[in-house]
């Protein structure tokens, strides 16, 4: 088993994995048959199983690869980890396939993807904590939950990116689309409620709590 990084990647094994990386999110797991994957990679069906043991093994290899790449991309973001402003665009720069696969994996029961999700939350909490201390971000009574939910919303956006694109025309997985989305996201996370509504909403919640 080789290291799952981008260096040694002209091997047939890597070509098969890349084909699966494309097909699983696009067609789903079951419609991506071993035969179709093999054809896309330009090899025989038998070779897929020779390299990965089983179709499930191929899926696990894809999960591991994507998760590892994300961790590497994070380590390259010296400043803010996965919340470095450059992180997302660099991930997309390498390939939208990566982000697309992660979004898909989060909707299947992938242990690898779940672990990465947990790591992202933990890291986001740390970064947010630091930002609060620096006076950049507002504090919270339940910072862990708030951060987890905020991150889930952003990842949820990635999961539903096809719907977003259909309705708004914005493709969140390429740079141009991301540039269009950025000010909108900023607007949303800056708060869209007017202060007086905010107050009455707060009172409503206090009453029902």
Partner DNA sequence: GGTTCTGTTGAACGGGCGTTTAGCATACTG
Partner DNA sequence: CAGTATGCTAAACGCCCGTTCAACAGAACC
Question: CA-CA distance, 79 to 16, in Å (whole number)?
Answer: 34
Check: CB of residue 21 under 8 Å from CB of residue 4: no
Cβ proximity to a copy of itself: between 174 and 182 the closer is 182
Task: Check binding of 158 to DNA (CB under 7 A).
Answer: no
Chain centre to alpha carbon of residue 69: 11
We find the least distance from the C-beta atom of residue 15 to a copy of itself, in angstroms, to be 26
Question: CA-CA distance, 167 to 163, in Å (whole number)?
Answer: 6
Task: Check binding of 13 to DNA (CB under 7 A).
Answer: yes
Question: CA-CA distance, 55 to 63, in Å (whole number)?
Answer: 13
In this structure, the number of other CB atoms found within 10 A of the CB of residue 142 comes to 9
> Which residue is associated with the tokens 């740390």?
126
Task: Check binding of 27 to DNA (CB under 7 A).
Answer: no
Of 53-92, which residues contact DNA (CB under 7 A)? 54-56
We find the least distance from the C-beta atom of residue 43 to DNA, in angstroms, to be 4
In this structure, the number of other CB atoms found within 10 A of the CB of residue 126 comes to 14
Task: Check binding of 12 to DNA (CB under 7 A).
Answer: yes
Check: CB of residue 25 under 8 Å from CB of residue 101: yes
Nearby residues of 167 by Cβ (< 8 Å), 6 or more positions away: none
Of 33-52, which residues contact DNA (CB under 7 A)? 33-35, 42-47, 49-51
Q: Of these partners, DNA, a copy of itself, none, which one is at the site of residue 34 (CB under 5 to 8 Å by kind)?
A: DNA
- Contact positions vs a copy of itself (CB under 8 A): 28-30, 85, 106-108, 114, 117-118, 121, 131, 135-138, 140, 142, 144-146, 148-150, 152-160, 163-164, 166-168, 170, 179-194, 196-198, 201-202, 204-205, 208-209
Residues at the contact surface with DNA, assessed by CB under 7 A: 12-13, 30, 32-35, 42-47, 49-51, 54-56
């Amino acid at each position: 088993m080789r290291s799952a990084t981008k260096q040694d990647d002209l091997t047939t094994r890597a070509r098969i994995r890349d084909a699966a990386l494309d097909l699983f999110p696009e067609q789903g797991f079951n419609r991506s048959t071993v035969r179709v994957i093999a054809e896309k990679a330009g090899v025989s069906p038998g070779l897929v199983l020779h390299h990965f043991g089983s179709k499930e093994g191929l899926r696990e290899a894809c999960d591991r690869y994507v998760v590892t790449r994300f961790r590497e991309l994070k380590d390259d973001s010296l400043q803010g980890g996965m919340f470095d402003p450059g992180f997302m665009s660099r991930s997309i720069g390498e390939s939208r396939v990566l982000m697309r696969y992660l979004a898909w994996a989060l909707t299947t029961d992938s242990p690898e993807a779940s672990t990465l999700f947990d790591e992202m939350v933990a890291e986001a909490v740390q970064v947010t904590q630091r930002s609060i201390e620096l006076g950049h971000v507002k504090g919270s009574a339940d910072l862990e939950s708030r951060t987890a939910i905020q991150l889930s919303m952003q990842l949820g956006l990635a999961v539903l990116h096809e719907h977003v694109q259909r309705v708004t025309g914005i493709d969140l997985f390429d740079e141009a689309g991301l540039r269009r989305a950025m000010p909108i996201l900023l607007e949303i996370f800056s708060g869209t409620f007017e202060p007086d509504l905010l107050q009455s909403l707060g009172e409503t919640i206090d009453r029902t709590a």
